[in-house]
Amino acid sequence: AQKITQTQPGMFVQEKEAVTLDCTYDTSDPSYGLFWYKQPSSGEMIFLIYQGSYDQQNATEGRYSLNFQKARKSANLVISASQLGDSAMYFCAMSRGETGGGNKLTFGTGTQLKVEL
Amino acid sequence: GAVVSQHPSWVICKSGTSVKIECRSLDFQATTMFWYRQFPKQSLMLMATSNEGSKATYEQGVEKDKFLINHASLTLSTLTVTSAHPEDSSFYICSARLPGHNQPQHFGDGTRLSIL
């Protein structure tokens, strides 16, 4: 079985600062995908970034980067230059198989991020 | 732009009513879609996997007769909450994956269901 753990229920960060949201995972699958999604208060789930288990380099997408440490089974999200609009719930998720494919996602409990002036 | 469309966004109805929620993939074919349920301040819990042309696969503890899923075409899956009761009130959200390598699942905007 797969398990995702997000140990930070809530985080505060000052505008323009960087913030790291923690995510650890547990799986016996040799191939898997790791995802981060953002959920604003309006409810929609916004895909941010993806990391495949065999990817050699950490994924980056604009201000988002994924600090993937396979041996530690961690996939932390780093948001640089935080903006007020980054305030939201952030979910880490995992799929079986690297592509994510038609495979279902297992979600963590989420981290509520609040960006302050 | 949105790749998955979900309708309606809000539903308020009386207890005992059946409610249908639609999930559409926009401009791509999705042989598999997923239905999730989310209670306030909690994570997404997978309810079922919707398979085009075949029966849905339900997660343990999800009543298939209560939550009917139909995936009759490659762009549309529907979730029907039958004889809804107040405890069925929740946020329901669907997802589908774009075809191609390393494509993530994209989500609809969700449906807030309130049963009075």
pLDDT tens digits, residue range A33-65? 999 999 999 999 999 999 999 998 999 999 999
Nearest CA in chain A to B35: A104
Tell me, what's the pLDDT at B19? 97
By C-alpha distance, the chain B residue nearest A99 is B102
B7, B39, B43, best to mutate vs chain A, most A CBs in 10 Å: B43
Q: Which comes out higher in pLDDT, residue A80 or A104? A: A80
Chain B residues with beta carbon closer than 8 angstroms to that of A43: 91, 93, 109-110, 112
Q: Exposed, middle or buried, A112 (CB in 10 Å: 0-12/13-18/19+)?
A: middle
State the pLDDT at residue A48: 96
Which stretches of chain B score pLDDT less than 70? 1-2, 101-102
**pLDDT tier, A100 (very low <50, low <70, confident <90, very high otherwise):** very low
pLDDT for residue A81: 97
User: B interface mutation test: which of A104, A109, A112 has the most B CBs within 10 A?
Assistant: A104
Judge whether A31 is closer than 8 Å to chain B, CB to CB.
Answer: no
CA distance B28 to chain A (A): 14
Residue type for A102, please? G
Which residues 56-85 on chain A approach chain B with CB closer than 8 angstroms? none
Distance (Å, whole) CA B19 – CA B82: 7
Whether residues B107 and A98 touch (CB distance < 8 A) is answered with no
> What pLDDT is attached to residue A26?
95
Tokens standing for A81?
A: 């230059």
Scanning every residue of chain B, which has its alpha carbon at the shortest distance from the alpha carbon of A52? B102
CA dihedral A42, A45, A47, A50 (to 10 degrees): 140
**Who among A33, A104, A108 is closest to B34 (CB)?**
A104
A32 CB within 8 Å of a chain B CB:
no
Report whether pLDDT(A102) > 70: no
- CA–CA distance, B22 with B9 (Å, rounded to integer): 10
